[in-house]
Amino acid sequence: MSVQEDQLKTGIILQGIGGYYEVLDAAGRVHTCNARGKLRQEVGKPLTGDHVSFLPAKDQQNGRIEHIRPRKNQLVRPPAANIDQMIVVITAGVPAADLLLLDRLLIQAEQWEMEAVLCINKCDMDEDGRVEEGIRREYAATGYPVLSVSAKNAEGIDNITARLKGKVTCFAGQSGVGKSSLINLLLPGEEMETGGLSKKLARGRHTTRRTQLLRAGPDTFIMDTPGFSLFETNIGDPELLQEYYPEYRSYQGQCRFNGCLHDREPDCAVRQAVAEGELAKGRHERYRTLLSEAREQWRRQYD
């Protein structure tokens, strides 16, 4: 039996549980669906964040996902699709900002073609603002937006809200930086249902959290991705690493050697810019650390 195309609705998958999917339609209703038999063979398993068309539920039956729209990007672990933006959270207090981890996450955002935003939380712990200032200086040349906030005092939260509008955003960063605290401030009232679960339950520590989309406003979602800060980065081809550094791109073609990796090569424009203080020294040192790591990984993979 073929499906009447005009009966189909479109929606976005909020979460999947054991072969069932919660699909939010344009009117804000959540439908429990399963997936059409052949769908897995054709495009694989439906993922949280997928834009789908589905046949709405009838009588006692569930709805059925018929098609999945092509994905903008796709994460394997956690399984998720179509994330527009990554907000990387670090702190101006404790735990002290792990800038190497930050750089890894920024590289990941570039690889997945997500917009990246830096969020410095716990600014209440940085009375003279020196830590914040140091981080801002370190990342000024990258062009990434930097937001200073305090989840504790609910300060600067509006600046995050403004960046979320119309997008699917994920939060990344080491344990204890305040991701949960920030997400709770960004979600509307406690009474809001997220895929049938209350906000409290959804983010609760007592339930097994799964990858899910939380509604932060019309067309605005936060992708809650437990375990996200734990993933392993694989940089891939060492020669491509510099592509993930927006501030290095404008120096392309200015080094003496074609294919300069801005490491030890003579007459390197990037190293020159670092020496002259145009580019941050620490960020370049970490770049070189990741470069040697990438070379090592590459060697192991292909030797």
Ligand X SMILES: Nc1nc2c(ncn2[C@@H]2O[C@H](COP(=O)(O)OP(=O)(O)OP(=O)(O)O)[C@@H](O)[C@H]2O)c(=O)[nH]1
> Where on the chain is the footprint of ligand X (CB under 6 A)?
93, 121-122, 124-125, 150-152, 175-181
Contacts 24+ apart (CB under 8 A), 243-252: 243/110, 244/106, 244/107, 244/110, 244/111, 245/142, 245/283, 245/287, 246/110, 246/142, 246/143, 246/144, 247/141, 247/142, 247/143, 247/279, 247/283, 248/279, 248/287
Q: Which residues are annotated as a binding site?
A: 121-124, 173-181, 255, 260, 262, 268
Taking CB under 5 A as the binding criterion, the range among 12-20, 157-165, 172-180, 253-261 that sits at the site for Zn ion is 253-261
Contact between 270 and Zn ion by CB under 5 A: the answer reads yes
Phi and psi at 270, nearest 5°, equal -70, -45
Could you say which of 255, 273, 274, 291 contacts Zn ion (CB under 5 A)? 255
Q: How far is the CB of 267 from Zn ion (least distance, A)?
A: 8
Q: What is the Cβ-side half-sphere exposure of residue 109, based on CA atoms within 13 angstroms?
A: 25
User: Is 291 one of the binding residues for Zn ion (CB under 5 A)?
Assistant: no
Q: Min. distance of Cβ 229 from ligand X in angstroms?
A: 6
Residue 57 interface partner, choices Zn ion, ligand X, none, CB cut-off 5-8 Å depending on type = none
CB of 159 to ligand X, least distance (A): 14
Least CB distance to ligand X at residue 44 (A): 28
| 255 interacts with, out of ligand X, Zn ion, none, CB within 5 to 8 A per kind | Zn ion
> With respect to Zn ion, which residue has the nearer C-beta, 203 or 286?
286
Contact partners, residue 267, CB within 8 Å, separation at least 6 = 255, 256, 257
Q: What are phi and psi of 126, to 5 degrees?
A: -120, 75
The pair of three-digit structure tokens given for residue 239, joined into one six-digit string: 């020669």
- When binding is defined by CB under 5 A, the residue of 109, 120, 214, 268 that contacts Zn ion is 268
Q: Which residues bind Zn ion (CB under 5 A)?
A: 255, 260, 262, 268, 270
